Amino acid sequence: MKPERIWLDFILKEWLLFASCTGLIFTSLYFRHLPSWSISELEVLFILFTLFVVVKGLENSGLILKVSQGIEEGKFIPLKLVVTTFFLSMVVTNDIALIVMVPLTLMLRTKRKDVIIILEALSANAGSSLMPFGNPQNLFIYWYYGIKPEKFIITIAPFSLLFLILFVLISLAIKTDTGQKISRIMVKISFTSYIYGILFVIVILTALRVLPIAAGFLVIIYAFIFDRKSLRIDYALLFCFFCFFGLATNMKILLSSTLESSRHVFLFSAISSQFMSNVPATLLFAKFTTQWRALLWGVNVGGFGNLVGSLANLIAYKLYITHKETNNNGLFTIKFLIFGYAMFLLGIGLYWVIEASL
């Protein structure tokens, strides 16, 4: 293959990396402001790195393939995957749920994997929105405004539960039967799967702040000494996150007034999430409003829409397009945008209806 073709393929596959880097450089020059990264943002990047390594290790050990073969047995495969992702995201956050579920789904030998993964990304955003610790923006709003847990859940429950019902109905409508019996590949699970299982639990506890952030170094130390293949992860995706966090600090310069209209807070935060992702949008708008309900709805609805809306979307997208057996990246992107913006508009309509009834 010609060098020019190799570079073109690389740019097309990593367009998000180029876009995020360009946005960070442009805003830094335009505002004459050097971007900054908080300790918490760097911790998020570190946790994502350790998660990627652990999941790669589990994949190499054969465990994920073994689990995927179990899911292939019986009917309602899309339903099982989507509902599992929804409830898993409530416990271990939407990012972690997708880091686990998308590689598992890609191991399946079934039709419509692209649509299933899109639904997994959307259901992870909807499921994680129900709990204060389900995603980073919820956790920030929960602590920043000092909200009681039951009040928090009641406020966002209509959003989460409506989309659960909708995704269940869509999953039931997806036909994945290949029409032929699938031959099984005998999978031997290596001993390393047990080690990575323990390391996975450690990373989860670190993400939930039960263990100190330093516990994540156990993953790096083990991988570096015993299994360097697990270090072959998507570093471009991590750098995308790095650029987006820096871009958000630059964008704060644009807002210097207080927002108190709940409709404005909701709409601005939802739309802003489409450009800077919902976590940075939360950090940005919380400094300018006391309308936490509108902000909570806005950034969770903003998780739908395009790929930038949520970091979880980026994770699902990158895991899909970089997989060795996927070759329909353009079509996958179009489908993602169609599904995402359909849910985005539905979420906006749901908020207007609920607010009008109060």
- The DSSP string of 171-221 is HHH-----SSPPPPPP-PPPTHHHHHHHHHHHHHHHHTTSS-GGGGHHHHH
Whether 108 contacts 77, CB under 8 Å: yes
Per the model's pLDDT, the better-predicted residue between 285 and 41 turns out to be 285
Over 70: is that where the pLDDT of 69 sits? no
Band of pLDDT at residue 68, cut at 50, 70 and 90: low
Counting runs of H as helices and runs of E as strands, what totals does the chain give? 17, 0
Residue 182's pLDDT is: 46
Residue 216's closest CA among 56, 100, 45?
45
* % the chain with pLDDT above 70: 84
Q: Once rounded to an integer, what is the mean pLDDT over residues 230-236? A: 82
List of residues 6+ apart from 39 with CB closer than 8 A: none
Band of pLDDT at residue 71, cut at 50, 70 and 90: low
pLDDT digits (tens, 9 = 90+) for 297-340: 999 999 999 988 888 898 888 888 887 777 777 888 899 999 99
Per the model's pLDDT, the better-predicted residue between 285 and 295 turns out to be 295
Q: Once rounded to an integer, what is the mean pLDDT over residues 288-301? A: 91
Residue 23's pLDDT is: 80
Residue 200's closest CA among 313, 96, 120?
96
Residue 257's pLDDT is: 53
- 67 burial level (CB within 10 Å; 0-12, 13-18, 19+): middle
Over 90: is that where the pLDDT of 288 sits? no
